[in-house]
Structure 1
Amino acid sequence: MKTSKFLLISILFISIHSFAQSQMEEKREQIKTLKVGFITNELALTPDEAAKFWPIYNAYEDKQFEIKHQKMKAFKERMDSDLDKMNEKEASALLAQMQSNDDELYQIRKKFISNLKNILPATKIIKLKKAEDDFNRKLLQQYRNKGSRK
């Protein structure tokens, strides 16, 4: 009897977890689609520019996402623990890892911009940064507005 209850609860938990992950992935894809449209519109990319730009941009975004969400996850878990129990040596090691990730993100962005210089004029590269910031600002505003209606 206990085994069947445990099995039922386990299956229910796994189902809920899988459903939540698929919803998160679906939301991420929706946001990505909106972002592509927004950036394309803001930069007024020609078909030739778009064909060269999007593979580079998508690779950059994927690498950036990996660093921010996979590598930083370990740091977040560590920082969510009791920081008062962390000794100086552990804190220094964690800080060094955080700086290393920040450096890696910076180097990826630097390489990305260097690659874009072969495809887009400098004005469009600057417009890209502005478009990314504007998109993120609008997305955050929509999230805040949605949260205040609940």
Structure 2
Amino acid sequence: MRTTFLLYIFLLFSYGAYSQEYKEKREKIHALKVSFITTELNLTSDEAAKFWPIYNEYEEREFVIKHEKMRKIVHQLGEKDINKLSDKEALLYLTQLEDADEELFLLKQKLVKDLKKIISPVKIIKLKKAENDFNRKLLKKYRAKRRD
């Protein structure tokens, strides 16, 4: 009983430490991204004050869709032998993935619509490029770190 209790406490603290470390890394990446995008878009202080609340809300909702909805579906598929799925089961998974994709698409459309009121279309295109460039640099850094 005591061993089980100690194991439970250890697992609880381990998970808490991992969760905290993940949160800190995510916050650091977010700060770097904010800095990168602000520089790339050359936002005025007025634009930045209006831009970031909209963009941050978009990112939060995008994170939920990608990491809670889509990851859950992919995880469920990973636990099954895909060759043994019935057409009915496969169709259900496809529908769930399509729904999540559509939700992401609509979210991106809303972002662009909202940003058009704040920044120029050229800056919106620069935002798309800055996001891609930032993600590429982050991935390159991650790969280099894994090689070391």
TM-score, normalised with respect to structure 2? 0.97
Runs of 4+ in 1 over 4 A off after TM superposition: none
The separation in 1 between residues aligned to 2:5 and 2:71, in whole angstroms, is: 30
Cα deviation for residue 19 of structure 1 reads 0.4
1:136 is matched with: 135
AA partner of residue 63 (structure 1): R
Cα deviation for residue 134 of structure 1 reads 0.3
The separation in 1 between residues aligned to 2:38 and 2:75, in whole angstroms, is: 36
Alignment of 1:1-150 (within 5 A): 3-81=1-79, 82-149=81-148
For residues 6-52 of structure 1, the C-alpha deviation after alignment (integer angstroms, 9 at most, x for no partner) is 11111111111110001000000000000000000000000000011
Percent identity for Structure 1 against Structure 2: 47
The size of the alignment, in residue pairs, is 147
Q: Which blocks of at least 5 consecutive residues in structure 2 are unaligned?
A: none
For residues 48-95 of structure 1, the C-alpha deviation after alignment (integer angstroms, 9 at most, x for no partner) is 000110000001000000101111132022111122232110000100
TM-score, normalised with respect to structure 1? 0.96
Q: Which blocks of at least 5 consecutive residues in structure 1 are unaligned?
A: none
Cα deviation for residue 145 of structure 1 reads 0.4
The separation in 2 between residues aligned to 1:108 and 1:32, in whole angstroms, is: 19
Superposed CA RMSD in Å reads: 0.7
